[in-house]
């Protein structure tokens, strides 16, 4: 074999293996991109849950004002129904007695979506929690 043939064979060998390495890197890069895309998609889907499950009771536990309902009222109603009522709200909802006294109006307006006013809305879980609280007899503790 001549030196030219050997050099040509080596060049062909290097070219072939270099192209394999490049193809392998492209495949790995595409797999990495696909994995990243799937991760982002999964994160977005999981994050799109609008229910606030932190107020959902477990099993046959009775719904109580202190444990389940107070958090919903405090974070959604006190803007208008605070210690000093605002925006034409007829009453305060700052404690158990006030909420229980207004319970008929609270449960019906939450159920029909007219409250909270001002564009906010309770999640389905929060609405169910308030309805279940009424069904359980408006328990405080």
Residues 36-56 have pLDDT tens digits of: 777 777 766 776 655 555 555
Please tell me the distance from the alpha carbon of residue 64 to that of residue 138, in angstroms, as a whole number.
7
**What pLDDT, on the 0 to 100 scale, is given for residue 136?**
92
d(CA 50, CA 121): 11
For range 123-137, the mean pLDDT: 92
Do 134 and 107 touch, CB atoms closer than 8 A? yes
pLDDT of 12 strictly over 70: yes
What DSSP string runs through 52-94?
Answer: -GGGPPPTTPPPBIIIIIHHHHHHHTTTTSSSS--TT-SS--S
Give CA separation, 96 vs 14, 18, 44, 58, 136, in Å. 80, 75, 38, 22, 15
Quote the mean pLDDT of the chain. 81
Question: What are the domain boundaries of the chain?
Answer: 1-48, 53-135
């Amino acid at each position: 074999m001549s030196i030219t043939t050997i050099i040509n064979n080596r060049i062909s060998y290097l070219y072939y293996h270099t192209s394999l390495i490049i193809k392998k890197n492209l495949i790995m890069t595409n797999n990495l991109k696909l994995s990243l895309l799937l991760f982002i998609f999964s994160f977005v889907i999981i994050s799109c849950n609008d229910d606030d499950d932190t107020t959902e009771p477990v099993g046959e536990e009775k719904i109580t004002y202190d444990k389940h309902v107070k958090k919903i009222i405090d974070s959604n109603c006190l803007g208008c129904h605070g210690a000093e009522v605002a925006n034409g709200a007829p009453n305060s909802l700052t404690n158990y007695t006030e909420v229980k006294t207004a319970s008929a109006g609270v449960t019906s307006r939450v159920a029909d979506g007219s409250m909270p006013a001002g564009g906010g809305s309770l999640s389905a879980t929060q609405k169910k929690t308030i309805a279940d609280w009424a069904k359980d007899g408006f328990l405080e503790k």
